[in-house]
Each structure stands twice: as structure tokens, then as C-alpha cells.
Structure 1
Amino acid sequence: MNKGLKIAAAAAMVFLTAGVIGVWTMVYLKNTGAGENPTAAETNRHPQQVQDYGDTENPEYADAGAFIKEFHGFYNQTTGWERINDLNMPDQIARAEAAKAYAGHFIPLTEDSALKADLKAITMHADSVIAGNGDTVLTLHRYFHDLDIAVNGYVHEQIFGVTESK
């Protein structure tokens, strides 16, 4: 019986030691932020900023090309170079609302059927982002990228092929 108590006591000590080490490791990792993306952690500590995207009732853009160029620049700045992994979704939603409004403004003013179809697609994908689908932000970026090439002559070696406009 004495041998059984010794084995049980040794087993209890092993479990107790493992538990203490496990708790200490969790506390240490939490306090040092190990394993966290610092940008994401910073974003979660401060309220996310949402930009004002202008008067969508009376767009300041002279034409669809100016709208496309401006929005392509926004998506380059907020999703390019792996920033897609750390989106400010409230700002992306606000931008998608503006994209939908501006695209809706230019649809009836556009005679080019391919561009009209692309603007309609932007409104559809913007609705997805507005509903909270962060994955669709990349699709919107690709639309504005390809349209900037097709409409404005933006020079870039990569074309995603998502637009009807060529």
C-alpha cells in the first residue's frame, strides 16, 4: 500500500506541476502579446476610424473615371501589401456604401454597356461588404484595379480579369 501511495503522490505532483506551468505560460503569453499581430492588437485597443467619403448624393467626381481612380487608390492603401489581413471593417463598410452610391450615380450616365455592367457588379459586391463580408473587399479592390486600367490607362502588369471592360 505504501508503494501505491508513493505512485499516486508522484502522479499528483506531475499533474500539479504541469498545471502550474500551463497557467504561467498562458499568463506570460497574454502579457507579452506573443503570437499576436501587433497591428491587429493596436486596432483592437483604439476605436477604429471611419473616414467621411463625401456627398454621395451629389458626387464631386466629374466622371466615372475619376471615381474609379480615387477608389482604386483607397483599396491600394487599405488592402495592398497584406493589409487585407487587418482590415478596418467599419471604414471598409463606409467606403463600400460610398462606392455603391457613386456607382449607382454613374450607371444611368454611362453609355458603355461593359462599364455599366461593371458598375452594377460594384454595387452588388459593395452590398456584400456592407453586410459584413470582409472577403468581398478584395473583390472590390480587383474591380477598381481592372477598371482603372481599362478606363484610365493605369499602368500595371497584373490584370485580374474580373471586369467586362477591357
Structure 2
Amino acid sequence: MKKRKMKMGWFGWTMAGVVLITLIGSSLFFFNVFQLDMKTLFQDDNFIGSTDQKDISEEAMGEIDRVRATLGNENEELGGFIATMHEFYNKTTGYGGINNLDWDEQREQAETIIDTIEGDKADIIDEALLTDLTQIADLAKRILDEQDSDLIRNLHRYFHDLDIALNDYKTFDRIWNVTDTLKDIEKVKK
């Protein structure tokens, strides 16, 4: 029995072309609507589950509660600022937003961070918290001159961990371990 080759013909090629153009158009529309780029699909470092994060145990949660009860109560106004900044970075960097930052907005926020921290530093007694705030201010100052998304990512991580330490922020299952304020959490885990 002879094998017969199937030819697509003009109708088959037309249908294949329409399907291909529809897929490409839909993908472009999706990525534009959600302000994503192709790197977002292949990078894990923007999302929960990155290898830089640390799981939180029950003992660590107890230590966080202890820090929150003491340091959080002593610095309620600063805690409000930290929560506001954390919310800003969740909004502007989440779901691939870190790859499409509005740098004017980020520089404006960096100026707010610098002004607030410089104004509040004199009232901070805790050395670890003071060190963290100094690190945050240094990152914010660099953002004024550089367009480096890693600086924004690091700021977001600082505000995330400090929001856990100072406020009643509980919608997390990991910490970044970038702050001196929560450095004892690592000791609890070992």
C-alpha cells in the first residue's frame, strides 16, 4: 500500500497563520495589560519561594512576637511608616512590576524615605533598628542616582521584614533575613 503525502493547501496555511497571529497578539496584549516582560516567566527571584528567603518555624514566630511586643510598641509611629512603605513596594514591584518600574515614582518615594528616617533617627533607641534604618536610607540615596531594580528589591525586603517585626503584619510565611532587627530569628532556627 502506498503512503500518500498530505498537503496543507491554501486553506490549511491560512488557518495556521490566523491561529499563530491570534496567539502572538493575545500574548502581547496580556504582557502589556499586566506590565510583564518575558524574563518574568523564567525568573523565580521576584516571587515567594526564592532561595534567598527563610522558612519561619514556630520558635521563630515566638521570637517575632517578642520583638513585636517590645520594639513594635515602642515605635508605633515608625511602624506605621514601615507598613505604608511595605504596601507601596508590594503594589509597585509585585507580579513582575519590578521589571517595569516608574523611576520618577521610585525616586519620589526614596526622598520620602530619606526625609522620614532622618527626622526619626534621633528618637530610635534600639541599635539594631537604627542600623536597619541607616541601611534603608543608604539604599534610598542610591536610588536617587541609579536606576537599579536590585536596590528597589532590597528596599522592599527591608520593609517586608521590618513590617513583620514592628507591626501586626501576618500575611507571610517567610522572611528575607536582611535586617539586624530580626537577626535573632536565624539563631532560633538552628
Q: In which range does the TM-score fall when normalised by the shorter chain? A: 0.5 to 0.7
Structure 1 residues without counterparts, runs of 5 or longer: 1-31, 42-60
Correspondence for 2:167 among 137, 141, 152: 152
Q: CA deviation at 1:153?
A: 3.2
Find the aligned partners of 1:133 and 1:121 in 2 and give their Cα distance: 18
Structure 2 length-normalised TM: 0.56
Which runs of structure 2 are paired with 1:92-131 in the superposition (5 Å)? 92-131=106-145
Is the counterpart of residue 164 in structure 1 residue 158 in structure 2? no
Structure 1 length-normalised TM: 0.63
Number of aligned residues: 117
Structure with higher Rg: it is: 1
Structure 2 residues without counterparts, runs of 5 or longer: 1-24, 37-74, 183-190
Q: 1:62 to 1:146 in 2, by over 3 A?
A: closer
RMSD: 2.5
Which runs of structure 2 are paired with 1:7-22 in the superposition (5 Å)? none
Which residue matches 2:32? Answer: 38
Correspondence for 1:80 among 94, 103, 111: 94
Find the aligned partners of 2:76 and 2:177 in 1 and give their Cα distance: 26
Which runs of structure 2 are paired with 1:24-63 in the superposition (5 Å)? 37-38=31-32, 63=77
Find the aligned partners of 1:165 and 1:153 in 2 and give their Cα distance: 15
Query: Deviation string for 1:47-74 (max 9, x for gaps)?
Result: xxxxxxxxxxxxxx96211110100000
Q: CA deviation at 1:132?
A: 2.3
Which residue matches 2:47? Answer: none
Question: Following TM superposition, where does structure 1 have runs of at least 4 consecutive aligned residues deviating by more than 6 angstroms?
Answer: none
Identical aligned residues as a percent: 34
Q: Secondary structure at the match of 1:153?
A: coil
Instruction: Give the letter for the 1:88 counterpart.
Output: D
